[in-house]
Amino acid sequence: MDTTKKIGPKDVFMQLLSIVALYFSAISLGMLFFQLINIYFPDILSYSYETQSFFDMLRWAVAVLIIVFPVYAWSLWYMEKEERKTPEKREMSVRKWLLYLTVFAAAGVIIGDLIALIFNYLQGEMTGRFILKIGAVLFIAISVFGYYLYKLRHSEQPASHVGIKIFNWAIVVIVAAAVFFGFYVAGSPSAAREKRIDERRLTDLQGIQEQIVYFWQKKNSLPANAGLLTDSISGYEAPSDPETKLPYEYKVLGDLKFELCATFTTELAANRNDAGLVKPVSVVEPSLETFNNWQHSTGQACFERTIDPQLYKVKK
């Protein structure tokens, strides 16, 4: 029987699709585990601005897994169904090359992780955070290595073994649980949008504050209202609230004191990260000093500022 008629471009495409989806899924699952570790086990050397990048990467990993992992699972199911009807497809050279390449890559990751583990142990840097990350990578790499090595050694009926079926379902459950938990930690899309809008409000207030200080340095007096900050040459104009489009509240409280107010929908606390977890008190975060005087709860928040004439001298 001529088996070449049973094997065509579609089979090659499915093999490539499956392997590519596997690589994206494995990398994204690793990224998801890493960001969860970064959030729940913060490094005392991390800066506060890095926290937002952790959540951004967490959302990206969840988005990739939601789309790519089902594609990977479906491609495996489809190819196994086709291989049961046409066993000759298990002997495709492309299939074997891709499987061996995957096993090789997984073995390389395992070896690299073990080297990193020993190196960091000798360096005295065996933190719980590092061990968790090594464990996450090893779990993914060993799972891929063991599964595809089994498929290579048992090509006659690679998916018929009860243990393999249990393993497949266990991986599906683990990935699904990781995605749901990542979605929970990242927060709903509406909550993420509210946070970004509040970040915009803080950025606006910081910009207005800088312009007020600059105005005082140039004229030795505070502007009576935010409209006086408008500069047609530089193009600056005091921004308004991104949602209500109303101007931010500005009051002069004295010769050197003023107040800026805005209404927020989320809370900003200096000792908590986006997951609501209290940060270690030993954390030294230079950038946090900038945000400490911008802490706020939900609702209207006002920030009093007093210009230090020794620090911000009048420019003559």
pLDDT band at 250 (very low <50, low <70, confident <90, very high): very high
261-300 tens-digit pLDDT: 999 998 876 544 444 433 333 333 333 344 567 888 889 9
Give residue 50's pLDDT. 58
Model pLDDT for residues 10-24, shown as the tens digit of each residue: 877 888 888 888 888
Residue 112 pLDDT: 79
What's the pLDDT score for residue 285? 34
- Tens digit of each residue's pLDDT (9 = 90 or more) over 21-48: 888 899 889 889 988 888 888 766 555 5
Residues 309, 5: Cα–Cα separation, whole Å? 86
For the chain, what is the mean pLDDT?
A: 80
Same domain for 135 and 69: yes
Please say whether the beta carbons of 180 and 63 come within 8 A.
no
Q: How confident is the model at residue 7 (pLDDT cuts 50, 70, 90)?
A: low
* Count of Cβ atoms closer than 10 Å to residue 58 Cβ: 25
Distance CA 297, CA 242 (A): 18
Cβ-contact 273, 279 below 8 angstroms: yes
Confidence at 3, pLDDT banded by 50, 70, 90: very low
Task: State whether 37 and 133 are in the same domain.
Answer: yes
pLDDT tier for residue 87 given thresholds of 50, 70 and 90: confident
List the strands of the sheet with 299-306, edge to edge: 249-252, 257-264, 299-306
Q: Report the amino acid identity of residue 81.
A: K
Using 50, 70 and 90 to split pLDDT, how confident is the model at 208? very high
The answer to whether residue 314 is domain-embedded is: no
Percent of the chain at pLDDT exceeding 70: 82
- For residues 202 and 208, what is the distance between their CA atoms, to the nearest angstrom? 10
Query: Quick one: tokens of 311?
Result: 């620090």
| Total number of domains in the chain | 2
pLDDT (mean) for 92-109: 82
Among the ranges given (102-111, 172-181, 236-245), the one the predictor scored with the smallest mean pLDDT: 102-111
List of long-range contacts for 283-289, beta carbons under 8 Å, 24+ apart:
283/42, 283/44, 283/46, 284/44, 285/46, 285/47, 285/48, 286/47, 287/47, 287/48, 287/49, 288/47, 288/48
Note whether residue 298 is domain-resident.
yes
Nearest-angstrom CA–CA distance, 174 and 90: 28
Asked if 73 and 204 sit in the same domain, the reply is: no
Among 59, 1, 68, 71, residue whose Cα is nearest residue 31:
59
* Statement to judge: residues 241 and 106 lie in one domain: no
If asked whether residues 106 and 166 sit together in one domain, one would say: yes
Nearest C-alpha neighbor of 47 from the set 277, 275, 283: 283
Q: Which of 131, 159, 187 is the last residue of a domain?
A: 187
Task: Tell me how crowded residue 133 is: count the other CB atoms within 10 A of its CB.
Answer: 19
| Distance in angstroms (rounded) separating the CA atoms of residues 181 and 66 | 13
What does the pLDDT read at residue 83?
Answer: 77
Write the burial class of residue 147 (CB in 10 Å: 0-12 exposed, 13-18 middle, 19+ buried): buried
0.75 exceeded by pTM: no
* Domain residue limits at 234: 190-306
Residues 206 and 155 reside in one and the same domain: no
**232 and 151 assigned to the same domain:** no
User: Do both 233 and 118 map to the same domain?
Assistant: no
Quote the CA–CA distance of 201 and 239 in Å, as a whole number: 9
